[in-house]
Structure 1
């Protein structure tokens, strides 16, 4: 019972930070295929983070330096800047942000801190406990996607995002990337390196 409770808490605490990003992505979804891409990208990212964390927990010396993990912040910054400077006549923003690979990379970047949370926790688990925990985390990810889908499908939210997408999407992506670079001290490391 304690395993279930701790796995649920772990799932909620590590998934909640995806909520705003997912709401924005779901509000941009034009069809069922777009929504499936979001679900798939998010679940794949969670799966990759879980498996990576498990491997790291088994071989603790494999954990890369924090600043290296922070380099993942470059992807959302790049995507945000690309969207910001894209002309209205270019490919639709939703086409660039709803693909499985884009959702996967955004979710991996924003969930990179989960490596530092999952890995130590996984060292305390037996293999059956790890499997149960992984399933609960993936179910929690699915629930977060359902919640984000419900909010993103509200006409008020989707209309707001549609109206201000040229500002909202780049702003959210760039701020997410900068946050990741700061959170993992990547900016400090790079400044010291080039100083």
Structure 2
């Protein structure tokens, strides 16, 4: 797969879990300015998460051996397994004025697990590939916001996402984790230890 394909899959898979939150936010936005605030807040939160993940991955690349970096592949695997077995909790958003800080905090809180997905993946990328991936993820953030805004009024779409999220999201995270384990030679190293 190409870097663009992985970036698209990564962006979509990490956005699925808060699509419903965006749907709820857009359904409460009564003024055009509030809709712009949701877009801007979501973009800022995504940028912050990408920046933190990229920084953590660069630090890890300098100080750790490749096979140790590959251990980070267990993070998305564990997140995927956790999602498979966790109870669904409804996210309630209070009916109030939609402000930029509240959007950023909601987005960061719902996307903090993305650090565990982005960081190990970014360790596999060059600086240029990281920038390309970050740009694509930010574009996907705008697209996800747009979809949540436009299709949010269609009840059948939110039901579909809610119904299949529990299968799609964990599968993508587990595959990403396995990819990271093999990309860094961690599986080979661990199997050699068992011999």
Asked if TM exceeds 0.5, the reply is: yes
Taking the TM superposition and a 5 Å limit, the aligned residue runs for 1:11-160 are 11-60=11-60, 83=94, 93-95=95-97, 98-152=98-152, 154=153
Instruction: Summarize deviations over 1:142-195 as a string: whole Å, max 9, x none.
Output: 11000000123x3x76xxxxxxxxxxxxxxxxxxxxxxxxxxxxxxxxxxxxxx
CA distance in 1 between counterparts of 2:109 and 2:34 reads 20
CA distance in 2 between counterparts of 1:29 and 1:133 reads 30
CA distance in 2 between counterparts of 1:16 and 1:80 reads 17
Q: Which runs of 4+ in 1 moved over 6 A?
A: none
CA distance in 2 between counterparts of 1:26 and 1:106 reads 13
CA distance in 2 between counterparts of 1:94 and 1:115 reads 29
RMSD (Å), alpha carbons? 2.3
Q: Secondary structure at the match of 1:30?
A: coil
Is the Cα–Cα contact under 8 Å of residues 29 and 94 in structure 1 kept in the other structure?
A: no
Q: Secondary structure at the match of 2:96?
A: helix
Q: What are structure 2's unaligned runs of at least 5 residues?
A: 64-74, 76-90, 156-195
TM-score by length of 2: 0.61
Q: What are structure 1's unaligned runs of at least 5 residues?
A: 67-78, 84-92, 158-195
TM-score by length of 1: 0.61
How many equivalent pairs are there? 128
